[in-house]
Amino acid sequence: MSNKNSCQIYVLEGLTPEVRAVTFAKCSRSDKSFREIAAGLTAENSSKFHEKWVVGYGHSSVAEHAPISIAMENISLLAVEAIESNRLASYTEKSSRYQIYDEDRVYYPKEFKQDKAIDKLFRDTIKLQFALYKKSIKPIQEIIYQENPKEKGEDQKGYEGRVRSKWIDMCRYLLPNACFANLGMTANARTYENALVKWFSHPLSEVQEIAKQVKREALKITPTLVKYADPNSYLIDSYKILPKKVKTILGAEKKYLGKEILVELVDFDKDAERKVLAAVIYQFSNIPYKKAYQKAKSLKKTDKEKLLDNILKRIGKHDKPLRALELPYFTFDCLIDQGAYADLKRNRIMTQLPQTVTTKHGYFIPRAFVLAGLEKEYKEVMEATDKAFKIISKKFPNEAGYIATKSYGRRFLMKMNLRELYYFCYYRGANPGGHVSYRFVGTKMYEQASKKFPTLMKYLPYIFDMNSKELNKYFEYIA
């Protein structure tokens, strides 16, 4: 017999998400064990609890104990971006790095049925893109094999790893945002409620329809916790009003466009080193933060370097640095291909602010297409895509993004703390298995941060096998 005062750790099995949420919520006001609380709950009284406390009194944190996993199939890459814009969730999606895409699995916006000419233009452009995509697979494969001769045999025996991903990854530049993907999402009911509000309020009808279907499925699991997730007038009006207001303020945008920026450190915490030092002094003492900051400020250069050395030098490749590194922030303005952004958007421990999809920023050509003798055809497809985008966007500005391929430039901001920058620089920069375009972003970020803070950045436990200039040779940017 176990002592009721001894540590008890166990899994609550066989409970629905709503009942589990109430079980944990009740522990704050009951001295019963979780098993005893759960034994007295039913679906009906759990629903009443949520109606009163979660909905009525706004105790939304209770909903965090109700996990939901939903499978989404045949949704466009453009919709995937909207779905994955929610930080507090887990996603796994179909990869253009390991799977060859099929032109039969493409989203055709229902709005285009209003205009036969635009519908035809959209379909004809999709056919052009996929024709070259299919044609390029074998030649690009051979180019990649030439650069990896030792691994060709392994790939031919069914090896599905690094080499295969390289040649499929290069061909993906031709894929439009209309391509279907499958996506698995796991989050708690509170996150789903917030996400559903955003999706219901999104300007794309596809995302709104996804919201309806996700809510329908979620209600089967948690009948109460997502019931009141509906369109939000503030978000809807923002999407309608702000683009017009900004356009009025800026006037003609031509002077803002071009290839002047790829990755630029536009804002940073000038006091980054001192904040890391102050945070550590604060954490491992009992003094107020202002006193810790003043002490960090008064340290002699040698003492400062010794303390930084003790804080950072032991960090290994797979270690999570101390949270003291979360105090300084860095903001980067990026202009890179849509395919790279689709990968980078999954780094969610940061603030990302993407601009809308456009062809105005030009496109990227992987070097492999030039070596394979496909440069001329590639440019012709991009020019046809740009022309189609411009025509479609005049009547359907939101839906035009479906026709843009992964090769087109996408501009976005990333703001992150130093702790996340350490992580990002490895997985998106130093990691040799990553795609060359996002490796360029991660490496460029490391180089720019190192110029401002050489002492902080020298401790990264990662070896960059190439610099940004070398990585930049793998693709050409056509503004």
Beta carbons of 164 and 95 less than 8 angstroms apart: no
135-194 pLDDT, tens per residue?
Answer: 999 999 898 888 777 666 655 555 455 555 677 888 999 999 999 999 999 999 999 999
Q: Please check the confidence at residue 368 and state whether its pLDDT lies above 80.
A: yes
424-432: long-range contacts at Cβ-Cβ below 8 A with a sequence spacing of 24 or more? 424/347, 424/350, 425/449, 425/460, 425/462, 426/317, 426/460, 426/462, 427/347, 428/343, 428/344, 428/347, 429/462, 429/464, 430/460, 430/462, 430/463, 430/464, 430/465, 432/465
Tell me, yes or no, whether 282 and 425 share the same domain.
Answer: yes
Per the model's pLDDT, the better-predicted residue between 40 and 120 turns out to be 120
* pLDDT, position 469: 92
Q: Please check the confidence at residue 1 and state whether its pLDDT lies above 50.
A: no
Q: Please check the confidence at residue 371 and state whether its pLDDT lies above 90.
A: yes
* pLDDT, position 157: 52
208-241 pLDDT, tens per residue?
Answer: 999 999 999 999 998 888 888 999 999 999 999 9
Tell me, yes or no, whether 289 and 420 share the same domain.
Answer: yes
Tell me, yes or no, whether 425 and 452 share the same domain.
Answer: yes
Q: Is residue 11 part of a domain?
A: no
Provide the pLDDT confidence category of residue 345 given band limits of 50, 70 and 90.
very high
What CATH number corresponds to the domain at position 202? 3.30.1360
Q: How many CB atoms lie within 10 A of CB 89?
A: 18
- Can you tell me which residue has the tokens 């309806």? 212
Question: Which of 65, 81, 96 finishes a domain?
Answer: 65
Q: Give the total number of structural domains in the chain.
A: 3
Query: Residue 347: is it exposed, middle or buried by C-beta count within 10 angstroms (0-12/13-18/19+)?
Result: middle
Mean pLDDT score across all residues of the chain = 89
* pLDDT, position 56: 55
Q: Please check the confidence at residue 18 and state whether its pLDDT lies above 50.
A: yes
Tell me, yes or no, whether 432 and 462 share the same domain.
Answer: yes
* pLDDT, position 57: 45
Q: Which 8-state DSSP code applies to residue 55?
A: I
Tell me how far apart the alpha carbons of residues 452 and 438 are, in angstroms, rounded to a whole number: 22
* pLDDT, position 10: 82
Provide the pLDDT confidence category of residue 422 given band limits of 50, 70 and 90.
very high
Q: Is residue 359 part of a domain?
A: no
Q: Is residue 406 part of a domain?
A: no
Q: Is residue 365 part of a domain?
A: no
Tell me, yes or no, whether 383 and 247 share the same domain.
Answer: yes
89-136 pLDDT, tens per residue?
Answer: 999 988 777 788 989 999 999 999 999 999 999 999 999 999 999 999
Q: Is residue 350 part of a domain?
A: no
Beta carbons of 184 and 75 less than 8 angstroms apart: no
Tell me, yes or no, whether 199 and 58 share the same domain.
Answer: no
Q: Is residue 12 part of a domain?
A: no
Question: Which of 8, 38, 65 finishes a domain?
Answer: 65
Question: Which of 36, 65, 94 finishes a domain?
Answer: 65
Q: What is the mean pLDDT of residues 26-41?
A: 82
Q: Is residue 278 part of a domain?
A: yes
What is the extent of the structural domain holding 291?
263-336+411-478
389-412 pLDDT, tens per residue?
Answer: 999 999 999 999 999 999 999 999
Tell me, yes or no, whether 56 and 78 share the same domain.
Answer: no
Question: Comparing 27-31, 209-213, 295-299, 449-453, which segment has the lowest mean pLDDT?
Answer: 27-31
Tell me, yes or no, whether 161 and 230 share the same domain.
Answer: yes
Q: Is residue 234 part of a domain?
A: yes
Tell me, yes or no, whether 275 and 192 share the same domain.
Answer: no
Tell me, yes or no, whether 141 and 48 share the same domain.
Answer: no
Tell me, yes or no, whether 242 and 278 share the same domain.
Answer: no
Tell me, yes or no, whether 319 and 426 share the same domain.
Answer: yes
pTM (2 d.p.): 0.90
